Structure 1
């Protein structure tokens, strides 16, 4: 249940934030939010991370849908299990779904989180994907520690 709740919450919050940005800002507009660390800067990305491969938004949606299907398949087979993996896969699937929705509906994603440290412009789905990757690493480390401790 943790997996489904996490994925649903991540997707919902991501979509709500993107709708709010699209309805309250103009493309290119930037507003300091947590100065000097974070600005809300409305950007539309038709490619992938760092605007690579522009114009292929719908193709990347297909990859996201295939990723989500793969996670659901392996969860059903019982190969993805444990609280940490449920949580990490929930973040990854929620992030993938959030960006896939944008790509399917608009052919591009709405980005708006611009960290002034110069790491590009992200959205909450991107942040969730990063959190999911970190949690996969945490899960792997915990698994190794448990295995080593029981030997």
Structure 2
């Protein structure tokens, strides 16, 4: 149940945030958000991360649908065992749905979160996808660490 709740919340919050940004900022306009660390700047991206593959939004939307279907298929088969894998998959799917909706409907994605560190312009779906990847990596690290721990010796 948590899996689907995460997907729903990520998708809903992402879509609401994009509608909000489009309603308060014109494309290219900016406003500070949190000190000098984060600002909001309204951009429309018809490509992928880092503005690569410009004009390919519809193809990327179709790819998102395929990726979502694959993740749901493997989840149903029981391939995602444990909290971090389940949550990681859910954040990834929620983010893919959020960006996929815009790519398929509008042929572009609304990006607006700008970090001072200079890592490009993102949206909440992008952050959810990144968090999903972090959860998968964390799960791999913890699984690897668990395998390396010495087995408890039975002293009798």
Question: For 1:14-33, what aligned pairs fall within 5 Å after superposition?
Answer: 14-33=14-33
Partner residue in 2 for 1:105: 105
- Per-residue CA shift, 1:11-63, capped at 9, x if unaligned? 11100100101111100000011121111000000000011111110100011
- Per-residue CA shift, 1:96-139, capped at 9, x if unaligned? 11000110110000000011221111000001111111110111
Partner residue in 1 for 2:124: 124
Alpha-carbon separation, structure 1, partners of 2:107 and 2:128: 21
Alpha-carbon separation, structure 2, partners of 1:146 and 1:2: 25
CA shift, 1:147, in A, is 2.5
Q: Return closer, same or farther for 1:100/1:150 CA change in 2, 3 Å cut-off.
A: farther
- Higher mean C-alpha displacement, 140-149 vs 42-51: 140-149
Alpha-carbon separation, structure 2, partners of 1:150 and 1:132: 30
- Per-residue CA shift, 1:71-120, capped at 9, x if unaligned? 00001111122111111001100011100011011000000001122111
CA shift, 1:144, in A, is 1.5
Question: For 1:1-150, what aligned pairs fall within 5 Å after superposition?
Answer: 1-149=1-149
Kindly name which structure, 1 or 2, has the bigger radius of gyration based on alpha carbons. Answer: 2
Number of residue-to-residue matches in the alignment: 151
Q: Is the Cα–Cα contact under 8 Å of residues 2 and 83 in structure 1 kept in the other structure?
A: no
After TM superposition, the score normalised by the length of structure 2 is: 0.93
CA shift, 1:149, in A, is 2.9
